[in-house]
Amino acid sequence: MDIPAHVAIIMDGNGRWAEDRGLIRQQGHKKGVDTLKNITISASEIGLKSLTVYAFSTENWNRPKKEVNFLMNLFKNTIRNEFDELKKNNVKVKIIGRRDSFAKNLLREIEHLEESTKNNDGLILNIAFNYGGRAEIVDAAKKIIKKENINKINEEEFSKNLYLSDTPEVELLIRTGGEKRLSNFLLWELAYAELYFCDTYWPDFSEDDLKAAIEDFNQRERRFGSLK
């Protein structure tokens, strides 16, 4: 089985998973963290090089304040609690997105995690938190303007200023939860990605589901605008 160099996942359905079971939405988010841990380990074991997951979007600030605060604390605690496991499994972690809205204690946890795993040479796990695809493109444009090399800009130069500038373009996007849209996720990086949608809510997504998505990817004919 051919393993894509870079897989991205929109982890959708945590809240609905909880509601279907008569639980509060926060329980779904907690369960979703467990799933992310399992999928990260599975992805590493099958030889995946880069995994990017959508954890919190720039639009998610519009959710009820109680839920937003819970997600911020959950993210901070997850970083702290899973730190040793990530190092043990040789995972390199990068947090992508805008950081200007984060509390100082969360920023410290993020910086410590990134610094402590930067030399790991196993799976690269990119966590998109306070991330928006349009915001990323705007931020890249601002970087280019500061460099005063606008006249030299091309796609290659532009890509160097994106959050994932040192990562291969996404080959496979998986979205769980039954929705079929990109939701402002990796708009540049998904230009030629294969899209895979499944009805399974993220908390129930398993290693077998990941393998099924990759097997489906292997059946695709990728032409990149040319003829086979």
Sequence length of the chain is: 228
Q: What pLDDT score was predicted for residue 87?
A: 84
What is the strand order of the sheet 194-197 is part of?
92-96, 124-131, 50-57, 6-10, 172-175, 194-197
Query: Is 162 within the bounds of a domain?
Result: no
pLDDT at 3: 94
Q: How many CA atoms lie within 13 A of 222 on its CB side?
A: 12
84: domain range?
6-132+170-218
Is position 161 within any domain? no
Active site residues: 12, 60
What pLDDT, on a 0 to 100 scale, did the predictor assign at position 227? 58
Report how far residue 78's alpha carbon sits from residue 75's, in angstroms, rounded to the nearest whole number.
Answer: 5
- Domain total of the chain: 1
Residue 50 lies in a domain: yes
Q: 0.85 exceeded by the pTM?
A: yes
pLDDT at 228: 61
Q: Which DSSP string corresponds to 56-78?
A: EEGGGGGS-HHHHHHHHHHHHHH
Residue 21 has pLDDT above 70, yes or no: yes
